[in-house]
Structure formats: C-alpha cells, structure tokens
Amino acid sequence: MSVQVEDLTKSFSTKAAPTVFQANFEAPSGGITTLLGPSGSGKTTILRIIAGLESADAGRVLVAGEDITPVPVQKRGFGLVFQSFALFGHMTVRENVAFGLRTQRAPKDQIDARVAELLKLVQLEGHGDRYPGQLSGGQRQRVGFARALAPRPRLLLLDEPFGALDTRVRLELREWLRLLHEATHLTTILVTHDQEEALDLSDRIVVMDAGRIQQVGSPNEIYQSPSTPFVASFIGSANVLSGRVSAGHAQVASLSLDVPANTPDGTAVRAIVRPHDIRIERAGNGNGVCSRRTAAGRISRMVNLGAHVKLDLALTTGDAVTVHVARREYDGLGLVAGESVLVDLESARVFVEDYVI
C-alpha cells in the first residue's frame, strides 16, 4: 500500500508563510518512511492531512493509486498513534483497544480474541482491566499502538510516538517498533524530530524545513550526500565554514575547493565537513604537506567523551572547527591543548548559495 503525496500545500493563516508548501514524496509500500525536521517544519501537518484530520489547500494524497482526498476520516482505515497518547481515560485498556473494532461492528467474540492477541503483542496481558491513569507513559503508548493496530489498518501513521517518553523507554520502544515492522511489513509513516530515530528506523527519510521538503532518500543517502546545507547540518553533526568564490575556486578558510564550472566570482559558498571525517596531525611533522585541502590551526580545547575525543580548533584564518578523533587514534597522536596542528578537510562538501552539488 504505497502512499503518494502530490503537491500538498496548506496554510493556517493568510498572513504567515504556508505551513506546508508543495510537498511531494512517495512512501514505499511495506516500508517505514520518516518525515524528519525541526518543530514547525510542517511534518505533523502532512501526517494529519494524510489521516484526514486536516484538509489541504492544494494537492492530493494517493493511497495505492487511489485519491483519498474526498474520503472522510472515519472511512480511511488508517491507524494513528499520537504523541500525547490520546487514550480514552474513562475506558479500560481493553475497551480502548476494542474501540476501533466496535465501530466496525465486529461480533463480540472476534473482538475479544483480537484484543487479547494485541495485548499479548504489546506485552500488557495482565493490564486489560486497568485504566490509562494507572499506567506509566511507556505502557500507555503501547496501548496506543494496540488500539491503532486492532482494526487491521492498511497504513500506520505515527506522530512523534515516543516524544513524551523517557529516553530509556524511548529506545526500547523504538527497538520494539522495528521488530514489529519486520514482522508485519505494514506501510508506516513516522513523524519525528529525532534524527537518530529516523536513521535507525527508516527505509526512506523525507527531510523538511519550514514547510518545504529538503531531500528525500535512504538514511545513507541523506547522511553521506546531503543535498542542502540544512540537511547536512540537521543530520549528524557538521562544521560549517563560509567563504566566497574567487578565481574559479571556493576560498574557504585557507583552502581552495572545487566549485561547479561557471560559478561567478564573488558567489557565497558554504563548506560542510563532519567532525569525524577530518584527519588531524601535528604541524611541522615533515609529512605535513600544506595542500589546497589542508589548513593550519591550534587546539583551543580538548574534551574526552569516552569513545572519542572532541577537539575544538581555531584555524589560522579565525574559523572554528570541531574534530572528533577516535580514542585509539588520539592515544597514538598524543596531542595536547594549545598545539599547532594541520587538518585535512578533504571530505568537505561545498554548497553554492541556491544550488547544490
């Protein structure tokens, strides 16, 4: 059951910028597609439009090739899990899970069997007669999942399902969700601002910012080949260095980096390089070839973060760069604070304003 979002646009007020602007993406059948972005990026709005809780100003949503825009919420047959759980507080866990089946008017014994099956799936067998108010946050969200899955939805929509939970519960439920999905292959659309969650769970990631889709791709693509500076800095950590084009090359820090041909001189550029992609060595080490991609600097601060060491550098040009060095390599190098070093920024990706490489 693939989901196709075409040119979706939505504004909540005539004065401010649209919340969602011409969103286009496809969620492949049987996979987990994640809408990833900061608060206010429009991802929840898109999810709600797919669910039918909001109506788009323009564009449409196709599920298995069929335009569902005119279909009312109740008839869409999707499952929705809320960040705030949205459990029916005055009903027991059992009654909550059974709700969707009751509206389908299934016979009682079928409902009971299905509810039991789901409670077992979310490991809440003994809790059927308790009320949501008596459960912990993690337990409540598991009821939320059970309730959404009970009526056998054809699409599962998750609105920051773990956002309201403690870190430990969040990680465990994330793992539980991954296993569940492997077993059921139910097409799932997940909304989150947690990039780690996105990288861990997704088959496809849709990165959004300020209502616009920045990039669609697999987690690997998004991480290795970000197509905009926003994506590069939102996923994983990144150093951002600014510069300008002159004499046909991007002059960033003390480096000369490649830019596409015909880029006019004077255009602003940004170079993005991940902290663990930077190679570092002592200055004046003999091997220290100062090349187009190597810059000189001084270590201003060193912090031991367990598996790696974080080095804050001040380059001779004044730019600040952070380098992550694996523990083993660090021990081998024996660097100290204040030392002069050379950094190889070979893996920097250059972004020209308004245009991606």
Partner 1 sequence: MPELAQAQPAPRLPLAELDTLPTRRVKTKAGNRPALRGSLSVRISLIALALAFLALMVLLPLAAVFAQALEKGLGAYLRAIRQPETMAAIRLTLLTALLVVPLNTVFGVAAAWLIAKYRFPGRNLLITLIDLPFSVSPVISGLIFVLLFGSQGLCGQWLSDHDIKIVFATPGIVLATAFVTFPFVAREVLPALQAAGNAEEEAALVLGASGWRLFFRVTLPKIRWALIYGIILCNARAMGEFGAVSVVSGHIRGVTNTVPLQVEILYNEYDFVGAFAVASLLTLVALATLVVKKVAERFQGARSAEGLR
Partner 2 sequence: MATAAHIAARPGWRPGPLPGFRPTLGFTLLYLSLVVLLPLAALVCKSAGLSWGAFWATVTSSRALAAYKLSFGGALLAGGINTVAGLLLSWVLVRYRFPGRDVVDAIIDLPLALPTAVAGIALTAIYAPTGTVGGFLERHGVQVAFTWVGVVLAMVFVGLPFAVRSVQPVLMELGPELEEAAAVLGASRLRTFLRVILPLLAPPLLTGFALAFARAVGEYGSIVFISGNMPNHTEIVPLLIVTKLEQFQYQQATALAVVMLAGSLVTLLAVNLLQAWNRRWTGHA
- The yes or no reply on residue 204 touching partner 1 (CB under 8 A) is no
Tell which positions 135-164 bind partner 1, by CB under 8 A: 135-140, 142, 147-149, 151-152, 154
- The yes or no reply on residue 159 touching partner 2 (CB under 8 A) is no
- The yes or no reply on residue 16 touching partner 2 (CB under 8 A) is no
Per-residue string for binding with partner 2, 43-82, x by CB under 8 A? ---------xxxxxx---------------x---------
Among positions 99, 162, 230, 351, the unique one binding partner 1 when judged by CB under 8 A: 99
- Which among 227, 247, 226 is positioned nearest to 236, based on CA atoms? 226
Please state the closest distance from residue 83 (CB atom) to partner 1, in A: 9
Please state the closest distance from residue 12 (CB atom) to partner 2, in A: 8
- The yes or no reply on residue 113 touching partner 2 (CB under 8 A) is no
- Decide which of partner 2, partner 1, none touches 246; Cβ closer than 5 to 8 Å per partner kind: none
- Decide which of partner 1, partner 2, none touches 182; Cβ closer than 5 to 8 Å per partner kind: partner 1
**Residues with Cβ < 8 Å from 291, sequence gap 6 or more?**
none
Query: Do the Cβ atoms of 223 and 272 come closer than 8 Å?
Result: no
- Decide which of partner 1, partner 2, none touches 175; Cβ closer than 5 to 8 Å per partner kind: partner 1
Please state the closest distance from residue 9 (CB atom) to partner 2, in A: 11
- The yes or no reply on residue 237 touching partner 1 (CB under 8 A) is no
Nearer to partner 1, 116 or 283 (CB): 116
Among positions 14, 15, 179, 305, the unique one binding partner 1 when judged by CB under 8 A: 179
Q: How far from chain centre, in Å, is Cα 150? A: 27
Please state the closest distance from residue 29 (CB atom) to partner 1, in A: 11
Query: What's the N-to-C CA distance of the chain in angstroms?
Result: 33
- The yes or no reply on residue 118 touching partner 1 (CB under 8 A) is yes
- The yes or no reply on residue 7 touching partner 1 (CB under 8 A) is no
Rounded Cα–Cα distance for residues 44 and 42 (Å): 6
Beta strand 188-192 with 155-159 is parallel
Among positions 27, 121, 302, 311, the unique one binding partner 1 when judged by CB under 8 A: 121
- Which among 196, 163, 203 is positioned nearest to 44, based on CA atoms? 163
Per-residue string for binding with partner 1, 32-71, x by CB under 8 A? -------------------xxx------------------
Nearer to partner 1, 179 or 261 (CB): 179
**DSSP strand E in the chain: where?**
3-10, 20-27, 32-36, 58-63, 66-67, 78-81, 155-159, 188-192, 204-209, 212-217, 239-246, 249-252, 255-257, 268-273, 279-282, 294-304, 308-315, 320-326, 340-344, 349-352
- Which among 326, 328, 318, 322 is positioned nearest to 345, based on CA atoms? 322
Q: How far from chain centre, in Å, is Cα 302? A: 29
Rounded Cα–Cα distance for residues 36 and 349 (Å): 22
Query: Do the Cβ atoms of 315 and 254 come closer than 8 Å?
Result: yes
Query: In 3-state terms, what secondary structure has residue 36?
Result: strand
Please state the closest distance from residue 210 (CB atom) to partner 1, in A: 23
Query: Do the Cβ atoms of 114 and 150 come closer than 8 Å?
Result: yes
- Decide which of partner 1, partner 2, none touches 151; Cβ closer than 5 to 8 Å per partner kind: partner 1
Please state the closest distance from residue 204 (CB atom) to partner 2, in A: 27
Rounded Cα–Cα distance for residues 310 and 187 (Å): 40
Contacts with partner 2 by CB under 8 A lie at 13-15, 52-57, 73
Contacts with partner 1 by CB under 8 A lie at 51-53, 73-80, 82, 84, 86-90, 99-100, 103-104, 117-118, 120-121, 123, 131-140, 142, 147-149, 151-152, 154, 166, 168-169, 172-173, 175-176, 179-180, 182-186
